[in-house]
Every structure is written in structure tokens, then in C-alpha cells.
Homo-oligomer: A and B are copies of this chain.
Amino acid sequence: MSTRIPKPRANMRKEPRQARSRATVEAIIQAGAHVLGDQGWSGFTTNEVADVAGVSIGSLYQYFPNKLALIEAIRRKHFDDVLAVLQQAGESRNSPEQLVDDLVHGMISVHCINPALHRVLLDLPNLEGSRSAYDEFHAEYLRRYRVVITAHRNRRGGAADGFAAQVLSSAVEGVIHNAARRGTLKLPELKQELRKLVCCYLSRATLSGSS
């Protein structure tokens, strides 16, 4: 179903200097995200992306040394979006309930832009080259979740919080990605249930963390 994937060489062959080229790069990443979300790995061909972006295949390769570098760029872009949401959710000086609300709302919003994309992005083959970028993201990702978890306690969080963060984040991911697949992402009921899920897990986690 696919070409064996090569290691990414570098992330950008050439930094776009002029305004025109920056627009081109932007268009390519946009188009790539769109194609990837829409058609999955199968439909993601560099020629297709170039087509959708309205540029020639040559232009694509002027800025991205290979397909994977393009994927990485898309990935990085969307990781940034996700982190931004979590950042906001973490920074608000609100009640724990409000925190959960912000988190859930933010996660849903960010997935509404291109619902299928995020799940696809997780399925990247384990590239050595891209691993670090992903790990870096993921560390930050978990850290933000931990903030939310900690805020829900009265006591200091223990080592178990790391585990709780993993469980919580992947549960949320699961729910959102599935909802994205089914097109129920924008339903208020979904948000409501998700909030419930998070909230009750947080309460219980606190208790049983001590049990």
C-alpha cells in the first residue's frame, strides 16, 4: 500500500526568503494537511499535494527534501496547535472544573479544523529522525495534562500522576478521534460526556492514587 519510507534528510532544503516562496510553502503544508486528513496515507502522494496546493511538483521539492520532511512539517504544525490549546487551558487561573472545560473545549476545537488529520498523524511509522520531534511534543503534551491533574488535587501529586496523565490523555484522544471519524465531534452531548469522563476520572484518580 505504500512505498517504504526513507529517513528524512533535513527538514527544509531551502529557507523561503521572498514573500512569494513563503506563500508557496504555506500552501503546500495546508494542502498536505488537507490531503492527509482527507485521504489518509493512501492518498497522500507528493504529486497530489502539489496539485491541491496549486504548485508544481518541482516547487514542492524545492522546499521539502522528501515526502517525509513534508509530513514532518505538517505534523509539527498541528502539534503546535494542540499544544497551544493545552497551554491556554493550563494557564487560566480558574477553578478545576473550568480547567477541564477549557481542556475539553480546546481539544475538540483543534480537532474540528481537520478532524481526521490528527489520528492519521499518530500513525506515523517510527522514524528515527522524527522520533525526537514527536517525543518532545509528547513530553510537553503530557506535562500539560499533568497540570490539569494536579490542579484537581488538594495534596501534592505523586509519581502516579505520570501514569494518570497517559491514561487520561489517551482516553480523551480515543474519544475525540473516534468522534471525528463518526462526525459527532461538534455535538454538545459529546463535549458533555467527555467532560464527565475527565472529571470523574480526575476525582477518582485522586482518591485511588492514595489507596
Report which A residues bind B (CB closer than 8 A). 1-5, 39-45, 67, 119-120, 122-123, 125, 160, 163-164, 166-167, 169-175, 177-179, 181-182, 184, 189-190, 193-194, 196-197, 199-201, 203-205, 208
Quick one: which of B167, B197, B203, B204 contacts A194, CB cutoff 8 A?
B167
Question: Which chain B residue lies CB-closest to A194?
Answer: B167
Quick one: which of B44, B178, B208 contacts A170, CB cutoff 8 A?
B178
Bound CA–CA A175/B168 (angstroms): 8
Quick one: which of B2, B122, B163, B177 contacts A2, CB cutoff 8 A?
B2
Q: Is the CB of B45 within 8 A of A1?
A: yes
Bound CA–CA A67/B174 (angstroms): 28
Bound CA–CA A120/B125 (angstroms): 11
> What residues of B have a CB within 8 angstroms of the CB of A4 in the complex?
42-43
Question: Which chain B residue lies CB-closest to A173?
Answer: B174
> What residues of B have a CB within 8 angstroms of the CB of A178 in the complex?
166, 169-170, 173-174
What 9 pairs between A and B have smallest CB-CB spacing?
A: A174-B174, A170-B178, A171-B171, A200-B204, A1-B2, A200-B200, A2-B2, A2-B42, A167-B193
Cβ contacts A to B, 13 pairs, < 8 Å = A1-B2, A1-B45, A2-B41, A2-B43, A42-B125, A163-B189, A166-B178, A166-B184, A167-B194, A167-B197, A170-B175, A171-B174, A200-B204
> What residues of B have a CB within 8 angstroms of the CB of A177 in the complex?
170, 174
Most B Cβ at <10 Å: residue of A45, A119, A172, A193: A193
Given contact pairs A1-B3, A2-B2, A171-B175, enumerate 8 new A-B contacts (beta carbons under 8 Å). A1-B5, A2-B3, A2-B43, A42-B125, A120-B123, A122-B181, A173-B174, A174-B177
